[in-house]
Chain A
Amino acid sequence: MTKPTRLTHLSMAEALEGLKAKDFTAVELTRAHIDAIADLRGLNAFITETPDLALEQAAASDARYAKGEAGPLDGLPLGIKDLFCTRGVLTTAASHILDGFVPPYESTVTSNLFRDGAVMLGKLNLDEFAMGSANITSYYGPVVSPWSPGRKIQRDAGTTAAGSELLEGLRQPRPVTEWEWDRRLVPGGSSGGSAASVAARMVMGATGTDTGGSIRQPASFVGIVGIKPTYGRCSRWGIVAFASSLDQAGPMTRTVKDAAIMLRSMAGFDPKDSTSVDLPVPDYTKALTGDIRGLRVGIPKEYRVDGMPAEIERLWQQGMDWLKAAGAVPVEISLPHTKYALPAYYIVAPAEASSNLARYDGVRFGLRVEGKDLKEMYENTRGEGFGAEVRRRILIGTYVLSAGYYDAYYLKAQKVRARIAQDFTSAWDKCDVILTPTAPSTAFAIGDKQDDPIAMYLNDVFTVPANLAGLPGISVPAGLGSDGLPLGLQLLGKPFDEETLFRVAGVIEQAAGPQPLPPVHS
C-alpha cells in the first residue's frame, strides 16, 4: 500500500498496525513527528526536544519489529511531561529552580513506556511544578493552544531549527516556521504542553499528571482524551511531587482506544511507591465493547453550578442523551459536599506542596543563588527559583500547617475530604459511573484570569473531587462550544474501575463523531 501522507495524523492503534504491516518504519514515523515539532515550535509545547534519542530508540524499535519482538507500544513517538524524571535528560518541572537538573534515574512510568517500546520525542512544557490551570506559570513561557487563531509565517532564515542540527535528515538549512497569533489561547493546565502537542499532532500521545484536573481540563480545552487513573494505579516514583496524596499520572491521547493502550503500559504496582496498589493491570482495550446497556449513569445535581454557561449544560444533556440511546440508564444522584471540594483542595494541595518543595534549597542540585549565610542562600535561591504561583502556594501551604491554624484549615480540609469520598461511596449504590462536564468553560486567552487566582482555581471545580476521593476520571471530546472551541465530558468511576470509564468514553467518542482538526492544521 502507499504510505499515508500524514503519519502524524494516525492514531496510536493505527500506527501500531502500520508498523506491524511494515507500511512504514518507526524511524519514518519518528522523523515525521520531529518535523511536526519543528514546524509547530511556535506553540512552545516542548521544554526539551530529544530528536537524537528518539531516532535512536526508533531504530532499535525497527530492529525489534524485524525480529518479531516488538512490544505493545513499539515505535510510537510520545511526549513526556517535564515532571517525569528521565535518565540523562534535563528535567525541569518548568521551574527555574531545577536549572540544569539531569536525573540519574528514570521514573517508573517512563521506564514502563520504554520497556514496551515507546519512543520519546522530548520533554513537554507545563505549569511550574504542575501548579496552574492554563500553562501560564512555566518558567519557559506559556504554551499556546493549537486552537489559537493565527497563521504560519515562512521565513528563509537560512539557519537550522534549534536543536535539530544533529539530525541526519535535517542537515540542510530549512526555513524556520514562525507563527503569528491573532489571539493566543491557553491549552489548559497543568499538562498544557502534553495537551497542545497531542492535539497538534506533534506527538502520538503524551504523559500527563493530574493533581486537581491537570490531565482532564487541558484534554477538554484542546479536544483530546485524558484519563486520570485511580490513585495508586500508576507509580509516582520519579515524578516530581506536587501534592503527594493527589498526584496521579495518566495518558493523553487523541482516541479512547489510544488512552487504553497507553495506560496499560504506564500502570502497575511499584514497590518503590508505598501508595501504589498491587492489582493486576487489565488489557483496557478489551473493555471497549460499546455495550453499556443497563449501565446506571449518575448525574450529580450539585454539579449544576451557578453561572455555568448554557452550552455546557446543553453538552452535558447531549452526553446523557447519547448514553441513553446506547441503553444506559440515567440516575439523579447527590454529592452533597461538592461545594467544599475546591476550598478543601486549595488547602490540602498547597500544604503538601509547601513540604514537598522544601527540598529545592540550592544545596544539592538545581539553582543556587549564593548569600552571606545559609539562610540568605535559601532566601535568594527560593526567591529567584520559584515563580509567583508556586510561591503563593508555598505560602498558603505553610500557613495552613502552622501551629494554631492546623486544626482550622488542614485538619478541617481532611475531614471534608473524607466526607467527599463518602459521598462517592454512597453514590456507587445508585450508579456505576458518573457523568459531568470536564470544565466550566472552553479555553480562554493567555492573560485572562491571570490576576485573579480564585477565578483561575474555579477551572478545577469539576475535576478536583475525583482527586480528593482518589477516583478515576476521564475527559472525552464531545463537540465544540459556540466559540468553536472544544469541550469535553468527564466520566468518574469506582476505584480501579478504569475499564468502565473506557467503555463509556468509547460510546461518547463514537456518538460525538469525528472531531475537527485544530486551526494550526486547517
Chain B
Amino acid sequence: MAYRIQGETGEWEVVVGLEVHAQVISNAKLFSGAATAFGAAPNSQVSYVDAAFPGMLPVINEFCVEQAVKTGLGLKARINLRSIFDRKNYFYADLPAGYQISQYKDPIVGEGTIVLDLSDGGTREVGIERLHLEMDAGKSLHDQHPSKTYVDLNRAGVALMEIVSKPDLRSPEEAAAYLRKLRTILRYLGTCDGNMEEGSMRCDVNVSVRKVGGRLGTRTETKNVNSIRYVQQAIEYEADRQVKLIEEGGQVVQETRLWDPNKGITRSMRSKEEAHDYRYFPDPDLLPLVLEQSWVDRVKQTLPELPDDKKARFMADYGLSAYDAGVLVAERARADFYEAVAKGRDAKMAANYVIGDLLGALNKTGKDIGESPISAADLGGLIDLVTDGTISGRIAKDVFAEMLETGEKPSVIVEKKGLRQVTDTGAIDKAIDDVMAANADKVAEYRSGKDKLFGFFVGQVMRATQGKANPALVNDILARKLKG
C-alpha cells in the first residue's frame, strides 16, 4: 500500500533519503592507535593525535579501510580504488583540530543497492549513493557543571562510515525496513554493531513532499534521530508539517532540523543561510588512498554469505516461504541457529519450531537468539523425539515449555516426567475398550452412521493416556474396533 498524505488539495507522497553514520568495528581509531571501547572513563582513550596537539599527524588505520570496503562490497557497491580524505573545517570544543577528516568529492565507495524485505513478503530495491570514511568528534557534556561544558574525547577520531541512500524511500515503513536491512547487512559483515542506543548507528533524515508523481519538493534534513521508531515518527511528522505548510501557502525552506524525541516533533536548527561553510579541501597530511584491485578481491573472498543470498538459499534448499526465510535470515545468529536445527532433519518442521515456538517465546521476554535458554542441539533433539515417535507433537509442546523454563535436555524431561509415547498395543487396546464401554451410546450412534464421532473417541483415548498414546496406533485400532 502506497503511503499517502491526505491534504486539503489532494494526495501527497513523501520522498525520503537517509544518511546513516555507522561506527566501524575496530580496536583502534581511524587515524590513531587509541582504543575505541564503549563506556570507558572520560578522556581515557585519547592520543595526542585525537587531541590535535601541535605537530601530530594522522595515519590511516588499514583495518578500518578494509571494513569500509567490506561494507561497500556487502552493499553491492562500486569500490573506488582511489579516494581522497578531505578536511571539513568548523570550530567546536569537541572537535580538537578544528576540522573533521572526512571524504568529500572522492569517497571510498560509490553507488550500490539494498534490497528491502517488505511486510507483505515482497522486496524493493533502494539505491545507495555513496559510503565514505570519516572520524567522529568528541562529546560535549553540558550537564556536569553549572556554568562550564566538559569535553570527552574518547569518541574523537573513532571511525565512522557515512552511508547515504538515494531519495528512493516513499514511506516511514520503507525507511524503517531500509534501516533494519542495512543493520542486518552491517552485522552480517561484522563492520558495525548497529546499536542505535549506544550511538554506534545514527541517522539523519532527508524529507520532502510532492503531489503524487510531481516534481521533487524542497527537502529538510533532520539530525540525530537515534532509533528506527523515531525515524518513522520524524518522517511522519515532517511530511505532515510540510504538506500543511505548503497548503497554507507557505514554502518549505532548505534547512537543518533537530528531532525532539520527547515532544515527537522536529525543530529548526539552522537555515541554509546560516549553514556552515565547511571549506572542504584535501587533507595535505594524508596521501590519496589507493587500493589494489587484487586486495579488494581478497577482501571480497572473506565476505560471509549475505542475507539476500541466504534467504534465496533457504527458500531453494529448505523449501521455506519467502516470509519464513526472511524472518530467519534477519539475524545471522538466527539463521545459523536455524541451520543447526535443520541439519539432517525436516527443514520445514525445524522452521516451525524455530520461528513459531522459539522466536515467539523469546520475543515475549525480549531476548534475542543468542540468549536462548534452548540450544540448537536440544531443539533438534526435541524434533528427533517427535520424528522417531518417542513423543507426539502435542507432548512436544509441553516438553518445549519445560525446556524454555529449565534449559534441560528434551530427553531428560521426557524420561523424568514419563512422557514417552505409548506404542504398546495392549495398553492402547485396553484404553479403547474402556472408552467404548463407558460410551456405549456414542458407539451405537457411530455405528449407525455418525462418522463424525470418530474424533470424539480419539480425544477420549488420548485423554485417558494423558496424550502419550501414539496417535497413529490409536487411529488404527479405534477404527478397527468401532467397526465391530
B54 lies within 8 A of A240 (CB): yes
Cβ-defined contact, A273 with B57, below 8 A = yes
* Size range of the chain A interface in the assembly: 35 or more
Q: Which residues of A contact B58 (CB under 8 A)?
A: 274
CB of B337, distance to nearest CB on chain A (Å): 44
Which of these binds chain A: B89-97, B202-210, B261-269, B406-414? B89-97
Q: How many contacts A-B (CB < 8 Å)?
A: 98
* Stretch of A6-14, A96-104, A187-195, A282-290 contacting B (4+ beta carbons < 8 Å): A96-104
Q: Is the CB of A98 within 8 A of B287?
A: no
A155 within 8 Å of B by Cβ? no
Distance (Å) between the CB of A345 and the closest chain B CB? 14
Q: What residue in chain A is nearest B151 (Cβ atoms)?
A: A363
Question: B51 near A: Cβ within 8 Å?
Answer: yes
Instruction: Indicate whether B146 reaches chain A with its CB closer than 8 angstroms.
Output: no
Residue of chain B at shortest CB distance from A401: B279
Q: Tell me which of B97, B149, B280, B285 contacts A274 (CB under 8 A).
A: B285
Within 8 A of A (CB), among B369-405: none
- Is A410 part of the contact surface with B, judged by Cβ < 8 Å? yes
- For chain A, residues 55 to 96, give those with C-beta under 8 angstroms from any C-beta of chain B: 84-85, 91, 93
Closest beta carbon of chain A to B242's beta carbon, Å: 26
A457 at the interface (CB under 8 A from B): no
Q: Which residues of B contact A91 (CB under 8 A)?
A: 54
B284 in contact (CB, < 8 A): yes
Determine whether B99 belongs to the interface, using a CB cutoff of 8 Å to chain A: yes
Residues of B within 8 A of A365 (CB): 53-54
Contact A359 B91 (CB under 8 A): no
* Chain A, residue nearest B54 (CB): A240
Docked Cα-Cα span, A401 to B86, in Å, equals: 12
B87 close to A (CB within 8 Å): yes
Q: Chain B, 114-134, contact with A by CB distance < 8 Å: what is the 0/1 string? A: 000000000000000000000
Q: Does A111 contact B (CB under 8 A)?
A: no
Q: Which residue of A lies closest to B140 (CB)?
A: A374
Q: Using an 8 Å CB-CB cutoff, how does the interface string of B55-81 with A read, 1 for contact, 0 for none? A: 111111000000000000000000000
A416-460: contact bitstring with B at CB < 8 Å (1 yes, 0 no)? 000000000000000000000000000000000000000000000
Q: Does B286 contact A (CB under 8 A)?
A: yes
A103 to B279, CA, bound (A): 29
- A317 in contact (CB, < 8 A): no
Given the contacts A355-B89, A358-B98, A237 and B55 also touching, CB distance less than 8 Å:
yes
Which residues of the partner chain A approach B89 to less than 8 Å between Cβ atoms?
354-355, 358, 401
Contact with A along B33-68 (1 / 0, CB 8 A): 000000000000000100111111111100000000
Q: Which residues of A contact B59 (CB under 8 A)?
A: 271-274
How many Å from the CB of A315 to the closest CB on chain B?
Answer: 35
User: Would you give the shortest CB distance from B198 to chain A, in whole angstroms?
Assistant: 26
Residues B149 and A374 in contact, CB atoms below 8 Å apart:
yes
Residue B281, interface by CB 8 Å:
yes
**From B52, which residue of chain A is reached at the shortest CB distance?**
A359
* Contact between B53 and A398, CB atoms less than 8 A apart: no
Q: Assess whether B284 is in contact with A244, with CB atoms less than 8 Å apart.
A: yes
Q: What separation, in Å, do the CA atoms of A274 and B49 have in the docked complex?
A: 13
A98 and B54 within 8 A (CB): yes
Partner of A364 from B51, B87, B285, B287 at Cβ < 8 Å: B51
CB nearest to B87 among chain A residues: A355
Q: How far is the CA of A458 from the CA of B128 in the complex (A)?
A: 50
Chain A residues 84 to 131 lying within 8 A of chain B, measured CB to CB, are: 84-85, 91, 93, 98, 101, 103-105, 107
- Roughly how many angstroms separate A352 CA and B86 CA in the complex, as a whole number? 12
Residues in B neighbouring A85, C-beta threshold 8 A:
54-55
Could you say which residues of chain B place their CB within 8 Å of the CB of A48?
Answer: none
| Contact indicator B279/A238 (Cβ below 8 Å) | no
Against B, the Cβ 8 Å flags (1 = close, 0 = not) of A376-397 are 0010000000000000000000
Tell yes or no: B277 within 8 A of A by CB: yes
The answer on a CB contact under 8 Å between B279 and A355 is yes
Chain A residues contacting B286 (CB-CB under 8 Å) are: 274-275
Residue A476 lies at the interface, judged by CB distance under 8 Å to chain B: no
Q: How far is the CB of A73 from chain B (nearest CB, A)?
A: 22
Q: What are 9 sample pairs from A and B whose C-beta atoms fall under 8 A apart? A: A104-B48, A236-B57, A239-B55, A240-B54, A241-B285, A358-B99, A359-B52, A402-B277, A406-B281
Known: A239-B55, A355-B99, A363-B151. 9 other contacts (CB 8 A): A103-B54, A236-B57, A237-B55, A244-B284, A275-B284, A355-B98, A358-B99, A401-B280, A410-B281
Q: Which residues of A contact B (CB under 8 A)?
A: 84-85, 91, 93, 98, 101, 103-105, 107, 236-241, 243-245, 271-275, 351-352, 354-355, 358-359, 361, 363-365, 374, 378, 398, 401-403, 406, 410
Q: Which 5 A-B pairs have the closest CB atoms?
A: A358-B98, A245-B284, A244-B284, A401-B279, A238-B55
